[in-house]
């Protein structure tokens, strides 16, 4: 099947890695549905190969209404997500739920809607954009970490479920990328960032470093090219890293004991 005959759905396309990936795949000749809650931001890129699509992953009916009319989807890139910055103690019930509603339940809703199409076609590729923090814990990002750990578990289990239908399932674990993530996709808990928080010293030490690493991270083009390779290479690894931080920390995590790895992380981030 040529690129022009393949249809790709990418979620979270309003900015960052999702936008870069959707645009890159469209240039490569794929027919791309670029899903976002704010598709008007993508209107200037609209073309035969790049179709902005309004989709709210937190609304089951929106997912059904938006995706049901699309007859054929060959590739799904589950990219949409955000990060809650909060301690466990200070997070609200709503914050905890919303973190998982977008990063985990939203991914599952979209996958549930797309899988039957792929199953009937007896082919497909699902690429879940996880994070190197789906294998590594960091303070203040506990809920984001947990949601990405969940994405890794979903990916591994889906690979078994969908194997007989010729549907490949992959995850990409990016490190920090130079996107709008720090500005738009990090949501902070008021109590955690208050001067009188018992965790004020931790916030002062870690938060500026993380934001700086995101703002000076890798270029989103790297992610777009990796996703394109996964689509086109039938034997691509089930899981891969992207970006400097992921390529550094994931192998280190695999080589060291949990205790030694934690000591390295504490030293690196001066915790």
pLDDT tens by residue, 64-92: 999 999 999 999 999 999 999 999 999 99
Instruction: Return d(Cα 71, Cα 132) in angstroms, integer.
Output: 34
Closest among 134, 140, 58 to 91, alpha carbons compared: 140
Q: What is the spatial distance between Cα 171 and Cα 165, in angstroms, rounded to a whole number?
A: 18
- The pLDDT assigned to 218 comes to 78
Q: Is the pLDDT of residue 1 over 60?
A: no
What pLDDT, on a 0 to 100 scale, did the predictor assign at position 171? 97
Query: Is a pLDDT exceeding 60 seen at residue 19?
Result: yes
DSSP string for 7-20: EEEES--SSHHHHH
Q: In whole angstroms, how far apart are CA 169 and each of 124, 143, 176? A: 9, 24, 23
Q: In the numeric block, which tokens belong to residue 229?
A: 């390779």
Q: What is the pLDDT averaged over residues 162-179?
A: 90
Q: Is the pLDDT of residue 31 over 80?
A: yes
Q: Is the dihedral of CA 40, 43, 46, 50 positive or negative?
A: negative
> What pLDDT is attached to residue 189?
95
- Per-residue pLDDT of 90-127, as tens digits, reads 999 999 999 999 999 999 999 999 999 999 999 999 99
How are beta strands 50-54 and 31-36 bridged, if at all? Answer: parallel
Query: What angle do the packed helices 200-215 and 258-269 form, to 10 degrees?
Result: 80
Task: Respond yes or no: is residue 72 known to be catalytic.
Answer: no
Classified as helix, coil or strand, 242 is strand
- Has domain 3-245 been given CATH number 3.40.50.720? yes
Half-sphere exposure of 269 (CA within 13 A, CB side): 25
Q: What angle do CA 200, 204, 207 make, to 5 degrees?
A: 115
Residue 27 confidence (pLDDT): 96
Task: Tell me if 154 sits within 8 A of 108, measured CB to CB.
Answer: yes
Per annotation, catalytic residue among 15, 86, 111, 130: 130
Mean pLDDT calculated for residue range 241-269: 91
- Alpha-carbon distance of 218 to 198, in angstroms, equals 33
SS3 212: helix
Selection from 81, 152, 155 nearest residue 125 by Cα: 155
Catalytic entry in 24, 30, 33, 144: 144
How confident is the model at residue 137, as a pLDDT? 93
* Confidence class for position 210, pLDDT limits 50, 70, 90: confident
Angle at 205 between CA 199 and CA 208, to 5 degrees: 115
**pLDDT confidence of residue 215:** 76
Mean per-residue pLDDT of the chain: 93
Output the CA angle 78-121-21, nearest 5 degrees: 30
Structure tokens at 102: 């977008």
Does the annotation count 148 as an active-site position?
A: yes
| Annotated catalytic residue, options 14, 111, 131, 171 | 14
Pick from 144-148, 199-203, 241-245, 267-271: least confident? 241-245
144 catalytic? Reply is: yes
Q: Give, as one character, the DSSP assignment of residue 167.
A: E
Query: Using alpha carbons only, what angle is made at residue 165 by residues 66 and 10, rounded to the nearest 5 degrees?
Result: 35
Cβ(74)–Cβ(10) under 8 Å? no
pLDDT of residue 231: 97
Provide the pLDDT for residue 114: 98
In the residue annotation, 62 being an active-site residue is answered as no
pLDDT of residue 243: 83
Active-site annotation holder among 6, 117, 148, 245:
148
pLDDT at 177: 74
Q: What is the dihedral of CA 107, 90, 174, 239, to 10 degrees?
A: -60
Percent of the chain with pLDDT over 90: 82
């Amino acid at each position: 099947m040529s690129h022009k005959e393949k249809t790709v759905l990418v979620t979270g396309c309003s900015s960052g890695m999702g936008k870069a990936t959707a645009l890159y795949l469209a240039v490569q000749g794929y027919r791309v549905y670029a899903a976002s809650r704010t598709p008007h931001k993508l209107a200037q890129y609209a073309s035969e190969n790049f179709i902005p699509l309004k989709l709210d992953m937190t609304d089951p009916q929106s997912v059904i209404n938006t995706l049901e009319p699309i007859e054929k989807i060959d590739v799904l890139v589950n990219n949409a997500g955000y990060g809650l910055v909060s301690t466990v103690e200070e997070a609200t019930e709503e914050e905890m739920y919303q973190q998982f509603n977008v990063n985990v339940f939203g991914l599952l809703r979209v996958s549930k809607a797309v899988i039957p199409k792929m199953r009937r076609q007896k082919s497909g590729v699902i690429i879940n954009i996880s994070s190197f923090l789906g294998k590594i814990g960091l303070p203040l990002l506990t809920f984001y970490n947990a949601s990405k750990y969940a994405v890794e578990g979903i990916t591994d289990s889906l690979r078994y479920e969908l194997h007989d239908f010729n549907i490949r399932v992959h995850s990409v674990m990016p490190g920090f990328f130079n996107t709008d993530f720090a500005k738009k996709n990090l949501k902070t808990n008021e109590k955690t960032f208050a001067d009188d928080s018992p965790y004020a010293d931790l916030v002062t030490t870690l938060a500026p470093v993380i934001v700086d690493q995101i703002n000076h991270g890798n270029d989103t083009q790297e992610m777009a090219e990796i996703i394109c390779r996964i689509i086109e290479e039938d034997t691509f690894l089930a899981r891969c890293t992207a970006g400097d931080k992921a390529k550094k920390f994931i192998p280190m995590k695999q080589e060291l004991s949990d205790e030694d790895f934690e000591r390295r992380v504490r030293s690196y981030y001066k915790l």
